[in-house]
Amino acid sequence: MANQQVFNTLLAKLPVPDTVNRSQAPSYAYQPKHKLAQLAVTGCMNQTYYADAQAQLSDVLTMCQGLDTAFIAKTAIYARRCGHMKDMPALLTAVLAARGADELPQAFAQVIDGGKMLRNFVQIMRSGAAGRKSLGTRSKKLVQAWLNKASELQLLQASVGNAPSLADVVKMVHPKPAEPWREAFFAWLIGKPFDMAQLPPLTRELLAFRAGGAVTFPDVPFQLLSNEKLTAQDWATLAERMGWQALRMNLNTLARNGAFALPGVADRVAARLADPQAIAKARVYPYQLLAAYRSADQTVPEQVREALQDAMEIALANVPTLEGQVVVCPDVSGSMQSPVTGYRQGATTTVRCIDVAALVGAAMLRNHPTARVMPFETKVVNVRLNPRDSVMTNAKRLAAVGGGGTNCSAPLAKLVEENAQVDTVIIVSDNESWIDARRHGATETMRQWDKLKQRNPNARLICIDIQPYGTSQAQSRRDILNVGGFGDAVFDVMAQFAAGDFADDHWVAMIEAIGV
C-alpha cells in the first residue's frame, strides 16, 4: 500500500515556500504590490525586533522600483486616508516627486493634509532618501501653494515641531502671499520685521498672552503657549477644551502641570473619558485606549486610569462580532516583548507586540464568550481566562505569559489533534516562526491548516503580522488573509473577511480602486 503520508493528495497541493523570514525559516513572500501595501499601511519606520528603520526604508524603496507610479500614488493616498500613517505616505509622495510622476499633484493634495505631513515631506525630500536632495520646481510650487492656502489655525498647528520647523520650510520655498495677514504671519514666523496690526487675530492673541498682556489664553495648540505662564487652573481649563482624543493623549501632561491637584478636575476628566456618547462620537477602539492606559504614569489619578478601563468596555461596542466558533491565538514568545512601533529615541511606545496580541484575544473573548484563546510560543500555553473579567484584566493576564521561541503552527496542530470544530482562527504574531521550520515542502503552518480544513472546509484563517517584514507562514488565498501591522481598523477587516465580504487580496484591491 502506498505511503499515505508521502502521497497525500491534499498535502501535495500545498505551495512550497519561496523565501525565508528574518529567523531564516522557510516562508512565503508577498507579491510586490501586496508587500508595498503592507509596509505602507503598517510600517513604523523605526527599529523593531528583527529589522531596523534603514532595512524597512530599503524594502519600501526596492518595492517602488518595480512598480508604476500610479500604484505608488494610490498606495500613498490609501496609507494616509485609511491607515492614518504619517511617515510612509510622505515617503511615497517624495518617491513620486523624485521620479517626476504625473500623479504627484493629486497624491500631494490628498496626502499632505496638515502641517505635520508637510514638514515630513520636506524633511524626506531634503534628506535625499527618495532619490534627490532638493525639492525641485514642482514640489516647491506644491509646498508654496499649501502655505498660501492654509488657514491661520492650520499654520499655527504646523508651527508646532522642528526638523524642519515651519519657519525652515518658509525660508526654503519663499512663498509669495496675496493677503496682508499671511505676509505679516510669515514675517513674524521667520523673525523678520512685521506689522502687528496686519497679523491675524489668533496670532495677535498668542503674542499678547506671551507678553503678559492677556488675562485668558488664546484658543491655539497648547504647545505654542509658554508653559511658564500657564497655571494649574489654565491646564484644568485646557482639559475641558481638548477634544476626546487629545484628552486621552495628554493625561501625563495634565498631571505634570498640576491640573489634577485642583478639586474636581480628576472627576471631570474621568467623566469625560468614560462618557458613552463621546466615545461613540470619536469612534474609539480598544487599541487607542490600551495605548492611553499603558502610557499613563503613576501621577495620573487612579479614577482617571479606571475611566480608561471603563471606556475600553464601552468601546467594545465598536468591535464587530464574528459568527460561529472563534479561536484566537496570541503569540507570547520572547520577540513579542518589543515595542509595537519599534524603538524611537526618546519616544518609544509603552505598548508592546504582546500587549496588542493579548488585546485582540481579550477583546474577542469579551464579545464572543464561547471563543477560545490559545496563547502560544514553542507550544500552546494554558491560561485560564474569565470572559466576564475586564478586557484590561485579561489582556494583562495574557501579556504576563512570555518567553520561548515562535511556533505559529502550534495552536493549529493542537486543534487538529483535538478534531476541533472552528469557523475562524486568528493568529496574532510577529510571524517569525522558526521552531517548526521544515527542510522540504510547505510550512508547518500551511500543513496543519489544511489538515484542520479537512474537518472544517468553510473555516477561515486570519494571520495578523504585527511587525510585517514581507513574509508569512501561510500563503494568502481565499480562506487565508494576511494582515500586516495592527490598528483599530483591523477589527473591521477581520469581520469582513470572516463574513466572506472580500478576498485575500483586499489590500491591493482597495488601493487599486482609488482614483488618481
Q: Could you read off the pLDDT of 243-268 as tens digits, one per residue?
A: 898 899 999 999 999 999 999 999 99
For residue 466, what is its C-alpha cell? 504585527
The one-letter amino acid code at 451 reads: K
Question: Beta strand pairing status for 471-472 and 424-429?
Answer: unpaired
Strand order in the sheet with 326-330: 372-373, 326-330, 424-429, 460-465, 480-484
Residues 6+ apart with CB under 8 A from 155: 115, 147, 166, 185, 189
Rounded mean pLDDT of 137-161? 95
490 and 428 Cβ atoms separated by less than 8 Å: no
Residue 133 is predicted with a pLDDT of: 84
300 and 309 Cβ atoms separated by less than 8 Å: no
CA dihedral angle for residue 90, residue 95, residue 98, residue 104, rounded to 10 degrees: -70
CB atoms within 10 A of CB 204: 17
Torsions phi, psi for 39 (to 5 deg):
-65, -40
Rounded to 10 deg, the angle between the 232-241 and 265-273 helix axes is 20
Strand partners, 483: 464
Rounded mean pLDDT of 142-148? 97
| Topology of the domain covering 319-512 | Rossmann fold (3.40.50)
Residue ranges per domain, the chain? Answer: 26-220, 233-315, 319-512
Rounded to 10 deg, the angle between the 136-149 and 87-98 helix axes is 130
Choose between 485 and 365: higher pLDDT: 365
Question: Beta strand pairing status for 480-484 and 19-20?
Answer: unpaired
pLDDT-derived band at 241, boundaries 50, 70, 90: confident
For residue 279, what is its C-alpha cell? 466615545
pTM over 0.95, yes/no: no
Strand partners, 485: none
Residue 3 is predicted with a pLDDT of: 45
Rounded alpha-carbon distances, angstroms, from residue 135 to 85, 104, 244, 269: 22, 13, 37, 45
pLDDT-derived band at 13, boundaries 50, 70, 90: confident
Q: How many Cα atoms are found within 13 Å in the side-chain-facing hemisphere of 145?
A: 11
Residue among 384, 414, 388, 411 at smallest CA distance from 400: 384
Strand partners, 327: 372, 425
